[in-house]
Structure formats: structure tokens, C-alpha cells
Amino acid sequence: MTAITRLNATCEHAATRGNGTLDFTVHLLAEDSDGHVHTVIDDRGFSVLTQPPGPDPWSGLTASSLSAEVKTTLLPDDDSPEHLDWDLVVSRLTDIGVPTTPDALRNVPYDVTLSAAIRKRL
């Protein structure tokens, strides 16, 4: 049986608005033991408004601060202390034919990858 071996939250810069707001998209990917990568969540994102707005909205942002925003974006909607909405992730993986459990997923590496374009700007 195929097992999930890694979870990876990816972040890409989507847009820069005129008021200095940066918009980002977030995807959660799951890699299985056969090397296939499955998109689990692809409908999330967040915005960052630099305060005070300046000529470079990227100033003051770090890889660490953006990675934390990515993980926050994927948190459950309730006050759960969990790092991910495990039930949602399990449900979506099961829907695409990769059954798993929350306990199995809690034990795999969970990384955040910022796109090359973001890393270049930081």
C-alpha cells in the first residue's frame, strides 16, 4: 500500500497591490512512497500589508516570517492546537485514492517551500 512520506506547503507570490499589499497562494502537497506528488489543498492564501507602506513592500519580510504565515494559513479553522486540519487532509487524500490516517500523517516530515521568486526577493 502506498504511504505518504512527506508533506510540503508551498508558497508563491500572487500579486502586489498598489497599497503595498503582497498576496500569496498556498498549496499543500503530499508525496507518497512511490514518488508521486499529490495536491491536497490548493485554495488557500494570505496577504501581507507592510506598515507603514513604503517603496518596497518586501522590506522587513523574512523567510521565517513567510513560512510562519504559510503554516498559519493551513491551520484548522477552530482553536485546535494541531498544525494542520488532519481530517481534511485525510479526506482529500482518500478521495484521490491514497488512504491514510491522521496519526500516520503526524509522523511524516512537514516542510514549507517558498518559491524561487520569493526567495530571490528576500
Range of the domain at 31: 4-117
Cell of 72: 498559519
| Pairwise pLDDT comparison (101 vs 53), residue with the higher score | 101
Interatomic CA distance for residues 78 and 68, integer angstroms: 18
Interatomic CA distance for residues 58 and 61, integer angstroms: 6
Residue 16 lies in a domain: yes
Looking at the 3D structure of the chain, how many domains does it have?
1
Structure confidence at residue 5 (pLDDT): 97
Confidence of residue 81 (pLDDT cuts 50, 70, 90): low
Residue 122 lies in a domain: no
Residue 40 lies in a domain: yes
> Would the pTM count as exceeding 0.75?
yes
The mean-pLDDT minimum among 42-51, 69-78, 85-94 falls in 69-78
Structure confidence at residue 54 (pLDDT): 73
Structure confidence at residue 60 (pLDDT): 85
Interatomic CA distance for residues 107 and 94, integer angstroms: 18
